[in-house]
Amino acid sequence: MATGIRQDVGNNGQTMSPAGAEFADTMNAVFLLLEDAYPLRFRRAFPDDETVARAKRVWSSALNKYTPRRIFMATRKALGASQFLPDLGDICKLCKLRYDEAGLKEPLQAYYEACHAPVQSRDYAWSHIAVYLAARTTGWTMLRSEEQRTVFPVFERNYEILSNRVLDGEDLEASILTGIEDGRRKEASRRAEEVACQQQRAAMVDQGIDPDNGVSARSRLKGILNI
């Protein structure tokens, strides 16, 4: 076996973050699995070190939106599903969320379950706790009072996030709380930026500068600054 095939990704001498190192380790493990499972086909597809390194970069770029756990599980599933060497498209397809594989209902079914549940309690016999958490995050009042076309997209987004957390083995409630806080921070930042822009426009108007006319604004500023 050519030793060059087992060249690691991320070995450029730079210090990597723990998350980056984990992802790099996973990509190396993926290529080792593929090489060991399909040695002849692997060598035909990746005949030398340069080809392997180039492939790892491409695969890493395409798969970096998934967690290392998800990628590794998809690769193992691919090994058992085909006698041929899986390609990047096969791995990407297997990385995508499939609700049934995670023991979850489809989003619309989960939405109906949340809307028609007789109680809004964690102790209710939900098909999965993700349904309850998605409903709670969306808001019970919104679920019960708004039209489906309005509230379902919100519920679906929350449910999809939670379902991905289930598939990745993450803490559902911790992740939701983090997401909520991130959303609040982004909203606060957006509002602060809007206020700053409004204040800037008001100041320009006070100085006789038309904020919607770039040429006029620049000319006026040059006059004020004597340039």
User: Tell me: the pLDDT tens digits for 87-108?
Assistant: 999 999 999 988 987 889 999 9
Buried b / exposed e along 121-156 (16+ C-beta atoms within 10 A): eeeeebebebbbbbbbbbeeeebeeeeeeebbebbb
Q: How far is CA 83 from the centre of its chain?
A: 31
Q: Same domain, yes or no, for 178 and 158?
A: no
Strand extents, DSSP E, the chain: none
Which residues, other chains included, contact 7 with Cβ-Cβ below 8 Å and sequence gap of 6+? 49, 52, 53
Q: Which band of pLDDT confidence, cut at 50, 70 and 90, is reported for residue 120?
A: very high
11-20, 33-42, 53-62, 163-172, range with the lowest pLDDT: 11-20
State the average pLDDT over residues 171-198: 53
Q: How confident is the model at residue 196 (pLDDT cuts 50, 70, 90)?
A: low
SS3 222: helix
Position 100 scores a pLDDT of: 86
What is the CB neighbour count within 10 angstroms for residue 218? 11
Those residues with Cβ within 8 angstroms of residue 176's Cβ, 6 or more apart along the chain or in another chain:
133, 137, 158, 161, 162
Rounded CA-CA distance 71/122 in Å is: 31
Co-location of 69 and 13 in the same domain? yes
The Cα-based distances of 128 to 42, 85, 156 in angstroms read 41, 36, 15
Domain boundary among the residues 152, 167, 182 is at 167
Token reading at 83? 């006698």
Last residue of one domain, picked from the residues 96, 131, 153: 96
What is the number of structural domains in the chain? 3
- How many CB atoms lie under 10 A from the CB of residue 171? 10
Q: Domain of 23?
A: 3-96
Q: Which of 120, 149, 167 is the last residue of a domain?
A: 167
C-alpha to C-alpha distance for 163 and 97, rounded to whole angstroms: 8
How many angstroms separate the CA atoms of 95 and 71, rounded? Answer: 6
Residue 143 shares a structural domain with residue 71? no
CA 10 vs CA 58, 65, 67, 80, 93: distances in Å: 13, 17, 17, 28, 25
67, 152: one domain:
no
Same domain, yes or no: 19 and 52 = yes
Tell me the C-alpha distance between 75 and 80, whole Å: 9
Whether residue 113 is found in the same domain as residue 187? no
Contact indicator for 41, 84 with CB cutoff of 8 Å: yes
Residue 39, token pair as written in the block: 């040695």
The pLDDT-based confidence of 2 (bands split at 50, 70, 90) is very low
Least confident of 113-117, 154-158, 169-173, 215-219: 215-219
The pLDDT confidence band at residue 207, using thresholds 50, 70 and 90, is low
Does residue 75 share a domain with residue 18? Answer: yes
